[in-house]
A and B are shown apart, each in its own frame.
Chain A
Amino acid sequence: MAIEDGPTTNEEDSGPAPGEAASQPNQDALPIVQGEHVAPDPSGRSAGGSGGFQLAVLDDLLNQARARSLWPLTFGLACCAIEMMAAGASRFDLDRFGAGVFRPSPRQADVMILAGTISRKMAPTIQALWDQMPAPKWGIAMGGCTISGGPFKYPAQYAIVEGGDELIPIDVYIPGCPPRPEALIQGILLLEEKIKAGRKFDQ
């Protein structure tokens, strides 16, 4: 969906109807930033104009929708994944928060729950899966090993990535070894608050 503020330059060249011109993306106004977690805001709200308020409301609606339909990636690394499965099962139903739809494909997933020890052998796979996920995406670090390396972190260790935030941007950290399903639910609720706040989010 293209969001336009002013008339584009290619509007006069091709000469389409005004309704069609507004739907064409302006290639110059949207800089593509490599390696950026969140796409740059194309609405140009800081430039002022009457469209700003409407886009802000639309943005909030989008954030509400995103927060209430967090689809995690079916991706367990170690023992924390057992608790993740327990949280998705009927006793602690993650579907009550819209986060129970575990997707087997990263193309359909919104949030990656890093559940377990990240070995150096697994790190490229995590990187590839994260890169395959579409743009509004979030990361949850579940368990001590994923946050900081946990008990496997000691001088001169060679097998463990010391923290999931060395690989992907992490939004919510859930300590525990492993965290109970209650703690995972708490983390997902915290992530929902962060998404709903949008750019007004203050840590």
Chain B
Amino acid sequence: MTDFGRNPGFRNLVDGPVLPESAYPGEFTEGEIVTYYNPEKMTWVERMYIPYVLSGLAITAGRFFSNMAQWAVWFFAWIRGKGAETKRGTVTIYYPEEQRPDFSPVNRGKHILTQRPSGDPQCVACYMCATACPAFCIHIVAGEHPDPQIEKYPVRFDIEIDKCIFCGYCEEACPVDAIRLTTDVHLVDYKRQRMVYDKDFLLTWKPTVVEDEHIYPGDRPRED
């Protein structure tokens, strides 16, 4: 059996009990304990360090010069009046003042509860979102609705936003489209105690789209 596939830097220790059967036939011989460790020797190129330093610098400089070349291409296109349709180099987004133009319209952020025209939540307290939630962050207390057409309504609907992982399973599980995730990412706060969003807070959003006698948020296209 040849030593094919075995690193010559590895060393064998030939004493001790017999190993169980190897996954690779021919890897071990009978009565052998093999200790693996990384070879200590570096090649002379690695010992010089300088080629690796230079290759690292080449990556950084490559980014810089490719970015600069993209900007130069854009500049000459801009002179010819084709600046708008030419790709530019890296641009910093001045965030609090301007939003990313390619901010995803389906980004999952803060939750909202959709409403009936009376302002009540559309939720029927069926616990499907709380069951589907992998982080167990939705807590519902159901109550009987005075309207006989509607069976139940949530007396309390709390979302622990600090446990939420924004997976969107709750809005997938909802049978009446009562919970939705908006693109809002401004959830930052000084206190952990304020990170339980109750029903009143989840209902405070600007309703913009009215269809089928229900109110929906207008910032997201409805996908059916």
> What residues of chain A have their CB less than 8 Å away from a CB belonging to chain B?
90-93, 96, 144, 147-151, 153-154, 163, 165, 170-177, 179-183, 185-187, 189-190, 194, 203
Contact = CB atoms under 8 A, between A and B. Distances in A.
Given A90-B92, A182-B95, A144 B164 contact: yes
B107 interface: yes
A182 B92 CA distance: 12
Contact of A177 (B96, B166, B190, B192): B166
Contact of B187 (A96, A151, A174): A174
Contacts of A172: 188-190
B90 A186 contact: no
Contact of A92 (B93, B135, B164): B93
22 contacts: A144-B162, A147-B163, A148-B160, A151-B135, A172-B188, A173-B162, A173-B190, A173-B191, A173-B192, A175-B187, A175-B188, A176-B187, A177-B165, A179-B185, A180-B107, A180-B185, A181-B95, A186-B186, A186-B188, A190-B189, A194-B190, A203-B191
A190 B188 CA distance: 8
A92 B95 CA distance: 7
B4 interface: no
Interface of B: 90-96, 99-100, 107, 134-136, 160-167, 185-192, 195
A90 B71 CA distance: 15
A175 B108 CA distance: 12
A151 B134 contact: yes
Given A91-B90, A185-B95, A185-B96, A173 B166 contact: no
Contacts of A165: 192
B136 A147 contact: no
A187 B96 CA distance: 11
A147 to B, nearest CB: 4
A111 to B, nearest CB: 14
A170 B96 CA distance: 23
